[in-house]
Chains A and B, each alone.
Chain A
Amino acid sequence: MKTEAEIQYEKLRQEREDYRVFNRGGSQDYWAYTHCGGCYCVCGAKVRVVDGWPVAIEGIPESDLGAQGGMCGKGVATIMDYHDPNRVNYPVKRTNPKKGIGEDPGWQRISWEEAMSTIAEKLIAIKKTDPRQLLWGFTPSPGTSFKATIVAAGFFISFGTFNRAAGGVGTACGAVAHHIGALVHAAWDIMPDYKYCNYVLRCGGNEGVAGGRMLATAIRLGAEARDRGMKTVVLDPVGYLTGSKANEWIPILPGTDLAVFLVMANLMVNEMGTYDREYLRDKTNGPYLVGPDRKFLRDQASGKPLIWDEADASAKTYDAPTLTRPALMGEYTVNGNTCHPSFQLLKEHLKQYQPEWAAALSTVPAETIRRLTRELVEAARLGSTIEIGGEKVPYRPACVVGYKGVNTHTNGFHQYAAMTLINSLLGNQDVCGGILGSGTVRGFGHPETGRPSFHPYAGYDGMLTPGIWFSKAPWPPPKVSGPGLVNFCDIFPHAGRNPYPYLDDWDELWTNAGRPYEPQALGLYGANTVMNAANPKPAEAFLKKVPFTFSINTVHNETTEGFADIVLPECHFLENLDVASALGFFFNYPIGMEKWSFHIGIPVTEPKFERRSTFDILFDLAARCGIREKYNGYLENWFSTKHMKWEQDEAPIKQYDIIRPEERIRSLEFSDRTLKYFFGQERGLDWFLEHGFMTWDKKAEECYWRYFVDARIPIYYEINEQDREEVKKRAEGIGIHMDWNQYTGLISYFPAAMYTDVPPNSEYDLVAVSPRDVLHTQRFSAENPWVDEMSQDNPYTYNIVMNADTAGEKGFKEGEAISLENFKGDRVTGKLKLSRMIHRKAVAMVGLGGWARGRPIARGKGVNFNVLLPADHKHIDPICGAFEINVMVKAGKAEAGK
């Protein structure tokens, strides 16, 4: 009879056998292909291994995913993550029953068997009552395989819980950017078509300089474009990042971009009269007729929206074969209703937004707004075409682009929608030179197999629908329901990642909702919730009450130490097999006409200690919890590209191509089958072990797909009109009071909450902002000693950055310790870095300032910006749940000793 320890050892040994595949023939010093696990970009990489230990990493010149041989500093530094002696090497359990920020967990090493059986026991009990009692979150920890989030999410979805309590992605994530990215580009994000673009108006985001999205690729393409002569104008309160590489930096007050965008749109349609009418007519819902109730006029039989056809002066469904000349303008009567094309309403609506008005709000001079509009329109070359790859496509080499600064405000939905509207008016979306969905969302697959393939298509109301999506499906529009989820994403159907339940008022609201159930367990893949959910205090209040928390992680962090009961040691990406990262275009598909580059994570060395791959951990846990069949189904759907969405029940599986429900294969076999399914029997894992990655040419119809896909995008958000009353009823019912006027189809001005927190001209006279830093973006990297060293060199990283003139007026000096305090009395302190490349009313700091014992290098470094953020429903966007990430503060000299 084998003991439990022996059984467990045998299981681990079998998994280790898998990894013998990756032994490079006994060589003591070799280079091996894999991908970088430094962030979501997952660039192609090769690694030098000496005596079984990775010692160097660089990019792959032949791959377009990344910097073509180069690599960003954060990626280079990942080698040191691997060697961190503070890594989690064995399963551990908490011995200190007290939970909270700063508590010493008193870790005690336990066996894998004890860890897994304890977790399984808790989960099985939950599943028997209500699976929603299991909450989950993710964002990989330093060095993990980033897209393992795909397999981690699948585990929890298979378990039966959509209760995602955003564990890692938090305040800075693209709540609106991803949502509107889906509706307009079928994509997670957007990026200029750097190869052809000549003019970029950049409004935050810092991609190509410091922002994490497609980091190394964007740095390479951005540099190449600057060298070519592409002009960049940066509209941003912080100028010392992207502004430092721009032709012009224009300081703007945070959260007021919306006013500038609306004025630009007004100037284009009402003053200049220069916009892409053909694009609006054929590719947007601009011709959809809107009735007096501000909803679409619909065909009584089919329910489809109607369009006025000027050819025969009649109303037809948007997809009627006889529709030839959709009207964008005018007033019509249909079935006794007076109605207008939505563009007509928008055009009239925009007239109220005048340059002088926006100037007063934003501090951007009215004449500058006019000039920027002229420059943008002239650079866009409306009406022009270009031949790419044998296809004639529209050529619009100008765009507006933004990310965090645009979308993370209480007016984030309208702000991002207004920015997007400008691009729609230019007709530059997913055409040559304009703004592209990032990564490319239309793929025909490898030329020899046609796999993997994915396609956006026309869905509900003829609107663009992503063919692949990771998180709650944005379209067709989810129904308003609930409250039944702790994140309230059911009440707010267009919110996929709001900061609940980590907000001050969550407990009160949950009580008002009748406490449908109590969270019993939280499963985290990576993630450091208490550092990046919203504000650490409400995160602590919530996490303390969750009876059982387990985490799969490479290192301990503030969240595991404060709140986890069990931590499982995960493989670093250099010792992990990861086929998931290749499939999912979020930040890691080559942009524009650059070649498709399919990289997988290939272990360059065998896992040390008792670390296990996430995939194998979850396979094991799924079997123990009795959900392996369902989990296999999710994986079959995703990896065979049959149904690449979270919502699984809609798609019963008719044919199994990779994994059958009853099979109990491990990660190695699954990865091999997936690769063979994509590329043929001869190109499985062995082929990738030798060749490293797959690359093939991209077609113009894939990259510039807009006119090859018959689907429309919104410039009028009718769904807001449909949802307003129901959302209001359900939200008000539990005590959430928001500005429901934001649920309007017409993109409109609303002030960001930070400006309503305090009276005008109060002592809270500075706006605190948190720009991304090139070494601290899209992951926690502060524990890395190389990153730490550079951060100490870089005066803009660990310090509080304030405008030199403002500091002078306040009597502050360079290097002085100051404090910043919000209207609630929350305070941070830090050393002052004076700059003139920051708005006079802004003060900036990178979100850092950790305290975990398990991260001794990171501990106490930098400033914890999140401490300053008021965290309640007054500070989230009522449509997409974006968190207000700026706050008014007052500055003072720090008290001695603090």
Chain B
Amino acid sequence: MNRLRQLFRRRIDRELSEEIAAHLDEKIEELMAEGMPRQEAVQKARREFGNLLRIEEQGREVWGWPSLEALFLDIRQGLRALGHNPVFTAVAVLTIAIGIAANTAVFSVVNSVLLKPLHYPGAEELVALHQLAPGAEGLADFESGLLLSPSMYVTYSDHNKTFESMGVWISGTANVTGLAEPEQVRTVAVSDGVFETLGVPPAAGRWLSPQDQIPNGPLRVVLGYGYWQRRFGGDQAVIGKTITVDAQPREIVGVMPKGFRFVDADFDLTAPLAFDRGKLILAGFGFHGIARLKQGVKIAEANADLTRLLPVWMDSWSNGPGSNPHIYETWKIRPMIRPLKQEVIGNVGELLWVVMGTIGVVMLIACANVTNLLLVRMEARQQELAMRTALGAGRARIVRGLLLESVMLGLTGGVAGCGLAYAGVRLLVAVGPSNLPRLSEIAMDSATLLFAMLLSVLSGLLFGLIPALKYSARSAGAALQSTSRTVGFSRERHRVRNSLVVGQVAMALVLLMSAGLMIRTFAALRNVDPGFSDAQRLQTLRISIPDSLLAEPERVTRLENAMLDRLQAIQGVKSAGFASEMPMEGFDSSWDQIYAEDKVYADNTIPPLRLYKYISPGFLETSGTRVVAGREMTWSEVYGLRPVVMVSENLAREMWGSARAAVGKRLREVPAMPWHEVVGVVQDVPEKGVQEKPPEIVYWPPLMKNPFAPGAEQVARTVTFAVRSERAGSESFLNEARRAVWSVNSNLPLASLRTMQEIFDKSLARTSFTLVMLEIAGAMALALAMIGIYGVMSYSVSQRQREIGIRLALGAQGRDVLQMVLSQGTKLVLLGVAIGIVAAFLLTRLMANLVYGVTVYDPLTLVAVASVLILVKLLACYLPARRATLVDPMVAIRYE
């Protein structure tokens, strides 16, 4: 087909040429017949015929051919033009490459995290069974909502009409022994239906099946890919073997493939939840629900389905004799099912779009710079363009040629940018917050490359359009006549360059403002009392003592106590203690209703839910958390099962007015529990991170009577030890800590060995990521805008050299010249700053949720940013201005 076209096309060309040649021949012959000499006849014939080449070209264009050949020609010409001026080309390409690299890198994050579907077959049918419960504040926070209880799962699973399949899962940890050193592994426990819902086939063996979910049935487990590789070297023969998990042998029945996660949870082992239906109660809202919608079912229908089932749930189960199942009506539970992707992404979208937006603005600034460069270069090329026009190039052709040139610049920059972006993405993944969802999926793919390509072409068009249109519009005659020496610069041309500078300054101000706000946020967060002191010298490690290893609660506490003693015996350790979790450690917290003895609670209402923790005596002293009234609990109280408790200051104030008043008051969780006396009040601790309001907290002793099982005790089995030592974090110290723990029980793995500082930094990871990104963007904007204004001022000074020379010759002082040039620059900068301030007011509102302790209209930041910007820009103006004063009047004038 193509060949045919080409043949056809050649024929048209040939015929047209032949025809035109015949025409000229005939005319010449006729003119000569009238007696004109040949030479003259040829000339006259040509003149009257018009521009031969152009006519042939137009004739061809009618048939639609011209484009391709002309295009190649233009591309060749463009490349040649770019090659002629390597410095210009290098600067432009580098500017674009950096801009495109930054944008492509950030886009690959946005694409991988926000845009790409989850890695499950038919992912769009997957939903998270999110529920709202405004009446259960605390337990059901806005982010994760109210999780499902096992009985809820059973009710929903048995009676729903809208799900293809559904299930619940929970993540946790378990101890694996007998392989090498004891190891704490990440686990996900799943109900029936979870594997079926996600639909990812196993890499080896099989999924967990309904038979594995029988309570007290055979114990089975499915391995995660990473753990399989790490511990078993990816051996297929692992299926059917047993491993010891929490002191119980479990048969390995399958392995899941690489990259598979339960929603957002990476894991080493998956075990069945094996709910015992006979023993379920209403409560226990700790399980994440997921489901696959039936074909064509809308989320609203599924919501209605579950709303219908809530009363069924309350009627089918109870919390034990004498309890009122309909008490949950006060929680106002409302299903709010949402796409699984949304559940995974959480609220990170906003952050990423803000980063993408700022990087996009950097690209605009880069384009403005290149536009300016092109404008300068166009001056120099005016004669070339005029020549081309005179030789018969149409305006469209010239515009196209120039645009092609800038698109090629863009593409060259884009290719270089992709290389840089590849490094940038790796950097982003490295500095990105480890709690960024889907972090492991971030990679450059075809969509990213397409984005980079489009961005290159678009930016090429963007920065090429203004110069191309401006210069092609000039009449050839005017340009040819003017020589580079005497042509002044038209005001209009200057206006474009000036407005580009103003725009750059304005955009840079917006970016610097957002970076400044993040710096202020970070400073504000650092100033919040985190509820612990000297975090670098506070070692934490996590230990779990499973039921199956040691059943009796008191012995668990004694074991933990013995470990504390050994840890304290390590040289240089000042003190040690443990708690169910450290502040900001990020585990799902426990919540329960707390009744005060001296308060009256109406029937059918339940008091607000409070976060509760278990802490050992000495823990608060170790972590440096202040006791504001009363005292810490003692070991004799713990072992004596004395009903004592501590509360946070804000809870004390809320219930009894002040910290002091709280000491001696009594509270409990459920009627079956004895009243516990408040022996001490603890300072408020921002348990969920310094940017969150500190929650009200109840601190229970690690061992206490079990309110649900008379005569038995309950004990904190999984705890984080905190050890205060100068040597915290050092390898030798960690080895000694391991030996200390293993000297008590050699089957206990130590997990999450980190200093408190690491925990704190991780909790700030998202904020610091935003900070780093916005600072990079701000710095790039500042640098680019600086280069921009420097270029414009330098150029304008070089253009005015003669004028300045005359001024100097007529007696102007260097000072006057300096002032004149500076004032020109200052005007531009101030105008840009003014516009930038208005834009910043409008745009920084978008990041209201990302800042803390500062309003987005923070005047201090604004003044600081504006002054920095003005200062830097004036510096950029100063150099060219200084050069202007050094003009030698004689030379400048004689230069004519």
Do the two chains bind? Answer: no
